[in-house]
Chains A and B, each alone.
Chain A
């Protein structure tokens, strides 16, 4: 009776909103308001949104503290870049993104199964270790990845259109997942894993699933990155990159997709301003982490989304 039909009223509405948003930004780019310099910031924002929202799924919604997200990004970057360079076409670029994402997801499953039984601090260090191992492996696969020197001359196919499409897809798909029963299952794991198991939820499967989905989208981000910045090397995707993403998630609120989006924008702008003062930027990031945890651990949005804010505004209007 009820189908897998995806074309329904609500989805169409969302599509319209998205198209409008895209068109506005594209117009700004076309008429030069968003020039080359800002375009880089825009690209960084989009890539960071994808990274932050995918990490938020794992750490914020499912409660699994992962410090190795950059490792998945690097898998997507390398696989995507290699296929892209081989085929040198838009099709190659897209195949590269898909392959990179799938490769990252597979590694995510392989890593997740043994390590996700660990908790808290131990899981954090294990994921950090995994990302480091990935980095060292890429450093040593000289014939394929060109080792420490990195891959140069990656064809640039990433533009505003593709960035927008993939960012919007990430936000929509992950947000759909989170507000479904499967997403609620993940949230229940965060809240109380033992109780979740008693509700008939296969917690190991869901933890690995969230981890793999997070890895998939991190892979997309990595592939987009490699086809935008022409050049990648293993050390770009180290612990510091994982921390960068973590700061966005913590600042925006662990458990809020809206928060990750806002935080990604704010922090990308901050990074652009502090380009020449990279130490200062890291000091600010460090203070952000400490101050947020002590004074406002829920970050900007806590676990609320922008739709919740609309509901509160509506309620206040009604009461007046």
Chain B
């Protein structure tokens, strides 16, 4: 049973169909990539998976603890609660809050104290808050962000901000992590760090990852399987070498009658 099963997703905005009958299966523990030329509908597809858009038709199913849950049309916060976390193409950190607070907010859905406890500051409240800080600090430590924990998110260098976004998504304890162009705007050294971070995530947390990327070398290097979207439809799916040599994919990117050197 695949962890995530997107079945014939279609999204139309009035007369424009951005995504049409797009299907995708992701097995547990996989690192899958989604590529396609600009405007192919990758972010729209992502937004459907994460509940920002409800699909015009089609379904999304998530395997949670052995049972299959239909998460089609769920609101974004419910999708995250079900175990699917995401990062954003244009970083959406809480810029004026500290690194620690960014993480603590992501952990909110897992706290175990009620509203009255918050108002009255019971012993349970203090205990849970301490636990929260400890777990957040542990997470930051794994990703070498400990010394920046009290720094405002906006003061971090770009590469670290992107890192923080990934760490923050992980703090929601997902089973599936969706990364929207995590390498955008990164120089080769930063991209290398990103590759190491993704590897660490898979190693230590056994997370399943789906990523959208334009950086072909990154995608080819780390993804086990790749889906290709063009004009809203999935035109190919396979291993990196299969995709690299697929005529259909090359045509999509470069137009017809072009030879791939």
Find out whether the CB atom of A191 lies under 8 angstroms from the CB atom of B96: yes
Interface size on A, residues (CB 8 A): 32
Given contacts A181-B132, A187-B97, A192-B92, contact A200 B123 (CB under 8 A): no
Q: Mark B94-125, 1 if CB is under 8 A from A, else 0.
A: 11110001001111110101011111111111
The interface bits of chain B over 114-140 (1 if a CB of A lies within 8 angstroms of the residue's CB, else 0) are 011111111111111100100000000
Q: Given B78, B94, B126, which contacts A188 in the complex, CB threshold below 8 Å?
A: B94
A-B contacts at CB below 8 angstroms, number: 118
Chain A interfacial positions (CB closer than 8 Å to B):
2-6, 8, 10-11, 173, 176-177, 180-185, 187-188, 191-192, 194-203, 303
Residues of A within 8 A of B50 (CB): 198
Q: Are A181 and B104 in contact (CB under 8 A)?
A: yes
Main secondary structure of the interface of B (DSSP, over half): helix
B76 interfacial by beta-carbon distance below 8 Å? yes
Contacts of B247 in A (CB 8 A): none
Q: Whole-angstrom distance between the alpha carbons of A2 and B124 in the complex?
A: 5
Closest-CB distance, B135 to chain A (whole angstroms): 12
B interface size (C-beta, 8 A): 45
Inter-chain contact B119/A177, CB cutoff 8 Å: yes
A interface secondary structure, majority: helix
Asked, given contacts A198-B85, A199-B108, whether A183 binds B124 with beta carbons under 8 Å apart, the answer is: no
**Shortest Cβ distance from A184 into B: residue:** B105
Partner of B76, one of A4, A182, A198: A198
With A6-B121, A183-B118 as contacts: A197 and B76 at CB distance below 8 Å: yes
Contacts of A177 in B (CB 8 A): 118-119
B118 touches A181 (CB 8 A): yes
Pull 9 A–B residue pairs with CB atoms less than 8 Å apart, ordered by A.
A2-B122, A5-B123, A6-B120, A6-B123, A173-B119, A194-B92, A195-B94, A199-B168, A200-B108
Whether A196 contacts B122 by the Cβ 8 Å rule is no
Residues of A within 8 A of B104 (CB): 181, 184
Q: B212 to chain A: closest CB distance in Å?
A: 15
Contact with B106, one of A180, A183, A199 (Cβ below 8 angstroms) = A199
